[in-house]
Amino acid sequence: VTRESLEAPAAASPAAWARALLDAQAAAGLLRVPRTRHGGSGSHAVVDGRHVTVFSSNDYLGLAAHPAVRAAAAEAARTAGAGSTGSRHLSGCHASINALESELAAFEGAETATIAPSGYAANVATLQALGGPDAVILSDERNHASIIDGCRLSRAHVEVFAHADLDDLERRLRRSTARSIIVSDSVFSVDGTIADVAGLAELAHRHGAWLVLDEAHATGVLGPGGRGAAAAAGIDPRDDTVVRVVTMSKALGAGGAAVCASATVRGVLLQRGRALIFSTALPHPTVAAARAALTTLRENPDLVDHLRANVATLRGALDELDPTGAAEVPIVPLLTGDPHLASRLEASLLERGHLVQAVRPPTVPTGTSRLRLTVSAAHTTEELQALAADIVELSAAA
C-alpha cells in the first residue's frame, strides 16, 4: 500500500541514522522544507519576504478568511473558550458539536454526521472501526496517506487495487470470502481526477460490501451546491452501505471532518473509532467557523459556480501545457517528471509572486513529480491569467 521514503543506511548512532536519512532525502531532491507564511489564510500572503498570491491552499471557496467565518470563530472564543477540554466521551459533547453534526447531516442528506478532529483522523477511525481481522479492505492504489494508515490500523487484510480499475476491484471482490470494505478518494488530491463513484457503489451493492468515500476535495466543489462527488453521481445519501468522509478543513476553510453515514455506523464509530474517541474534540472557534462556513455555502451556492468558472479560466490559459485532472476539479497538476525541475519551477514562480506547490515522491510515484496548482473562488481572473502566463514562459525556458 505504501510509497516509502528513502531508507537511510545502517548507522553508528541514532542521531547518525537520522542525519543520514535527511542527507539521502536531500541528495534525491526530496527534502520537504516548509516555508514560513505571514498574513493569514486569505489568497494573498507574504512568503519568504515576498508578497504572493496563493495557488497551493485547499481553501477552494475562499471561506477560511471570510468575514462571517472569522466573526463566528472570534465570538465562540469570547463566549465559550478556546479548547474543548477533552473528547466527547471524557468531558461531555459540547452542544455546538451536536448542532454542527445536525447541520452537516441535513446539508448532505445523510442520516447522521459524526465529527472527528481532522480528515486524517476521520479516515483512520472509520477504517479501523469498520475493519478488523475478519474483514478485507480493498483500497485504490492512489488513496490518501490517511486511508493507507487507516488500512494498517484496521487489522484487516488489505488488497490494493489498480488505480480506478473497477475490473481489478471486481476480480478481487469475487475472490474475497471475508466481509469487504471498498475505500477510495472521491477526488484524488494530487491527480485532480474523480473516482467512478457510481461504479464503485454498484460493485459495493453487488458484492455486499461497504463503500467508504473520502470526499475531502469534493465537498464544496462537486455536486449540487457543493454536496460532493457521491451527490454528483446520484448516490442516495441515505444508502446505508455508503460512508462518506466530509472534511471541514478544505473548501469549508475551518478544520476537522465528519463521517456521514447511517445511525448504526455512527454507533460503531462512537464505540470503536479510536482516532475520535481518544482525541480532543474540535476547539470552539473551529466548530463555530465550520458552522458559519456551511451557512455561507448553503446560502450562496453561486460560490461553487464561481469556483468552477475560475477553474475553467486557469485550465484554458494553460491548455498548451496539457494540465491533467478532471475539468471541474480545482486541483490542476502539471507533470514535470523530474523532481528537481518541479522544485526549480516552484522557486521561480515564487520569485514572480505565485505560491505553488511542487509534489514529489514519496507523495507521488517516482517519475511523476509535478506542480500542483489549486484554484479558489477568491482568485481574480487577472491573477489566474498572470500565473498561467508565467508558467508557460518558465516552462518554455526550462
Ligand X SMILES: Cc1ncc(COP(=O)(O)O)c(C=O)c1O
DSSP output for 140-179: ETT--HHHHHHHHHHTSEEEEEPTT-HHHHHHHHHH--SE
- Rounded to a whole number of angstroms, the minimum distance from the CB of residue 11 to ligand X is 31
87 is catalytic: no
Interface stretch with ligand X, choices 105-113, 214-222, 266-274, 287-295 (CB under 6 A): 214-222
Residue in 66, 94, 144, 217 annotated catalytic: 217
Residue in 189, 249, 343, 376 annotated catalytic: 189
First to last CA, the chain: 34
Residue in 66, 94, 144, 250 annotated catalytic: 250
Q: Give the C-alpha separation, 327 to 325, whole Å.
A: 7
Interface stretch with ligand X, choices 67-75, 209-217, 225-233, 259-267 (CB under 6 A): 209-217
250 is catalytic: yes
The yes or no reply on residue 120 touching ligand X (CB under 6 A) is yes
376 is catalytic: no
Interface stretch with ligand X, choices 116-124, 336-344, 366-374, 378-386 (CB under 6 A): 116-124
The yes or no reply on residue 189 touching ligand X (CB under 6 A) is yes
Identified binder of ligand X from the candidate list 30, 45, 181, 257, rule CB under 6 A: 257
Judge whether 13 and 348 are in contact, CB under 8 Å.
no
The yes or no reply on residue 140 touching ligand X (CB under 6 A) is no
Binding residues for ligand X, how many (CB under 6 A)? 14
- Restricted to residues 8-47, the positions that interact with ligand X (CB under 6 A) are none
Judge whether 129 and 136 are in contact, CB under 8 Å.
no
Identified binder of ligand X from the candidate list 159, 185, 346, 383, rule CB under 6 A: 185
Identified binder of ligand X from the candidate list 76, 213, 216, 364, rule CB under 6 A: 216
DSSP output for 254-310: S--EEEEE-HHHHHHHHHH-HHHHSSPPPPHHHHHHHHHHHHHHHH-THHHHHHHHH
Q: Are strands 331-337 and 369-374 parallel, antiparallel or unpaired?
A: antiparallel
Judge whether 182 and 175 are in contact, CB under 8 Å.
no
Greatest extent of the chain over all pairs of C-alpha atoms, in Å: 61
Q: How far are the Cα atoms of 36, 210, 236, 261, 331 from residue 242, in angstroms, in the given order?
A: 40, 6, 9, 7, 25
The pairs formed by 91-97 with CB atoms below 8 angstroms and a separation of 24 or more are: 93/281, 94/281, 94/284, 94/287, 96/284, 96/287, 96/288, 96/291, 97/281, 97/282, 97/287
The yes or no reply on residue 214 touching ligand X (CB under 6 A) is yes
- Rounded to a whole number of angstroms, the minimum distance from the CB of residue 177 to ligand X is 30
The yes or no reply on residue 213 touching ligand X (CB under 6 A) is no
The yes or no reply on residue 247 touching ligand X (CB under 6 A) is yes
Identified binder of ligand X from the candidate list 53, 57, 112, 118, rule CB under 6 A: 118
Identified binder of ligand X from the candidate list 119, 226, 228, 237, rule CB under 6 A: 119
Binding site for ligand X (CB under 6 A): 118-120, 123, 144, 146, 185, 189, 214, 216-217, 247, 249, 257
Catalytic residue positions? 189, 217, 250
